Amino acid sequence: MADAVKEKVSLPSISSSDSIPDKAKWDRPLEFILACLGYAVGLGNVWRFPYLAYRNGGGAFLIPFFLMLLFIGLPIFFLELYVGQFSGLGPIQAFSAISPFFSGLGYCTLVVITIISIYYMIIVAWAVFYTIVSIAGNLDWGSCENEFNTINCFSGEYDRLCRENNTGDSTDLTYYQQHCVSIGTICIETGFQPYDGKNCLNGSEVIPWFKNVTRILAAEEYFNERVLGRGDATWENWGTIQWHMVGCLALCWFVAFLVVIKGVQSAGKVVYFTALFPYVMLTALLIRGVTLEGAVDGIIFYLSPNWETLLEARVWGDAASQIFYSFGVAAGACVTLASYNKFTNNCQFDAVLVSFTNFFTSIYAGFAIFSVLGFQANLMGVTVDDVAAEDVGLAFVAYPEALLQMPLPQLWCILFFFMLFILGLGSQFAGIEAMNTAITDRWPTLRKSYWKESHATAPIYRFD
């Protein structure tokens, strides 16, 4: 009987040292934490969360977001870290080691992270393009004099010049259809009566003048026409290749390849910068933003609670989707990062620390974003709701337009878009590492030539 028991406990396990692959480990636990932060804290914290917060009840949205963090985000995140650290394997081999029936989960996560990496790197390439043109001083997204601009183009800078050049007319001037026009004239042209120089009169109803006109931000036309080259593209006519974006995309993949060329040994050193630099930039933007006129209005708009929204299912759905989007769970990257931990690492502490840091970073980024949007709204004489945009529009349309109104706009544009580049690239490292780890776990001999294997996976992603 004793021999039988002894034989049973000596059965091989995925946690035994003999079965854990001989591969590199993080030099310090801090490198793993920073790598997880770099992966979790990304572009979604800067543009997606602030928009979802103000759309779903402001401060009230923090309640469902926090609950989704506790009951969905943190448990799944910890589970993936546990599986990766316990097995010492990437997602495919780790789930297969638990049970052959789970092997499909690993392949599914690999498909997910591949798709995410393809489209995510395109967004990073946009940030690179804006960074380059900002360094060159070509801040053309604030101009309505480009060949692609329409008659309805609106520039905050041109509008400011119109008001500054007002010769004393009791009616305020604004930039409208490529001219400085009085608000009273706009009211008449749109079929209403002038009221007080800021509003129009529709019978007995007083309405803001800007509610009756079509204005397209110069930054929006720049993004659609200059950056994306949409033009008249349709499902039948996709348009032409934008070679400037091809170059930026190739540059992004090249930088990512250099970072992961030696796996965690090289990436572990880079994460000190990619994970911490965005906090420096967010702090700089916040300090500058809160000193601008109208910043308080933007912050109040961002946090003012609307408790009735908690009764809407959409609000809770948005909170859950943001948790999945921000944490990047179910994509294999978390399993991969944890697989390079020492077996005795306290991954529970790491999961809690990263989760709550991610939570507070989202809120912190909202202050930096909406303080500047409040300034822009005050400058344009509209509400914050009229200048806030959704998703990419917030990062590449509304915020860049606001930066142009600040002192030293070129400096702030360089810092902001470089921050977006670092945020996006930090999230990409884990995805590329997941692909590489899946291959080296399947063919361990490739670890001796990891840089060749990394170079081989890059073309898979570049076919976007």
Other CB atoms within 10 A of residue 348 CB: 11
pLDDT of 171 above 60: no
Q: Give the pLDDT score at 167.
A: 58
Q: Give the pLDDT score at 425.
A: 92
Residue ranges of the annotated binding site are 38, 40-41, 45, 326, 358, 423, 427
Do residue 169 and residue 133 come from a single domain? no
Do residue 300 and residue 442 come from a single domain? yes
Residue 319 lies in a domain: yes
Share of the chain above pLDDT 70, in %: 89
Classify 383 as helix, strand or coil. coil
Q: Give the pLDDT score at 177.
A: 87
Among 343-352, 371-380, 420-429, the minimum mean pLDDT is found in 371-380
Q: Give the pLDDT score at 443.
A: 75
Average pLDDT, the chain: 86
The candidate with the shortest Cα–Cα distance to 90, out of 409, 417, 340, 403, is: 340
Q: How many domains does the chain divide into?
A: 2
Q: Give the pLDDT score at 345.
A: 95
The CA distance from 230 to 234, in Å, is: 9
Tell me, rounded to whole angstroms, the distance of Cα 333 from its chain centroid.
17
Confidence of residue 199 (pLDDT cuts 50, 70, 90): confident
Do residue 199 and residue 268 come from a single domain? no
Distances (CA, A) of 405 to 123, 158, 322, 362, 420: 24, 10, 30, 25, 20
Q: Give the pLDDT score at 239.
A: 80
Residue 97 lies in a domain: yes
Q: Give the pLDDT score at 5.
A: 47
Residue 2 lies in a domain: no
Q: Which domain holds residue 184?
A: 153-214
Do residue 175 and residue 84 come from a single domain? no
pLDDT digits (tens, 9 = 90+) for 30-64: 999 999 999 999 998 988 898 898 889 889 999 99
pLDDT of 409 above 90: yes
Q: What is the mean pLDDT of residues 55-80?
A: 94
pLDDT of 20 above 60: no
Alpha helices of 137-217 — where are they, by DSSP H? 156-164, 183-189
**CATH number, domain containing residue 359:** 1.20.1740.10
- Angle at which helix 347-380 crosses helix 74-87, to 10 degrees, equals 140
Do residue 403 and residue 458 come from a single domain? yes
- Tokens 């396990």 label which residue? 13
Residue 148 lies in a domain: no
Q: What is the mean pLDDT of residues 210-225?
A: 88
pLDDT of 227 above 90: yes
Q: Give the pLDDT score at 168.
A: 53
Q: Give the pLDDT score at 183.
A: 86
Residue 395 lies in a domain: yes
The CA distance from 98 to 348, in Å, is: 20
Distances (CA, A) of 85 to 32, 258, 271, 339, 351: 11, 25, 19, 5, 12
Q: What is the mean pLDDT of residues 240-244?
A: 91
Do residue 325 and residue 386 come from a single domain? yes
Do residue 271 and residue 208 come from a single domain? no
Among 73-87, 340-354, 443-457, the minimum mean pLDDT is found in 443-457
The CA distance from 115 to 165, in Å, is: 51
Among 18-27, 84-93, 419-428, 429-438, the minimum mean pLDDT is found in 18-27
Residue ranges of the annotated binding site for Na(+) are 38, 40-41, 45, 326, 358, 423, 427
Do residue 101 and residue 157 come from a single domain? no
Residue 224 lies in a domain: no
Do residue 367 and residue 303 come from a single domain? yes
Q: Give the pLDDT score at 193.
A: 87
Residue 14 lies in a domain: no
The CA distance from 432 to 97, in Å, is: 22
Do residue 384 and residue 364 come from a single domain? yes
Q: Give the pLDDT score at 84.
A: 94
Residue 147 lies in a domain: no
Q: Give the pLDDT score at 457.
A: 55
Do residue 284 and residue 414 come from a single domain? yes
Share of the chain above pLDDT 90, in %: 51
Do residue 117 and residue 174 come from a single domain? no
Q: What is the mean pLDDT of residues 407-432?
A: 93
Radius of gyration of the chain (CA): 26
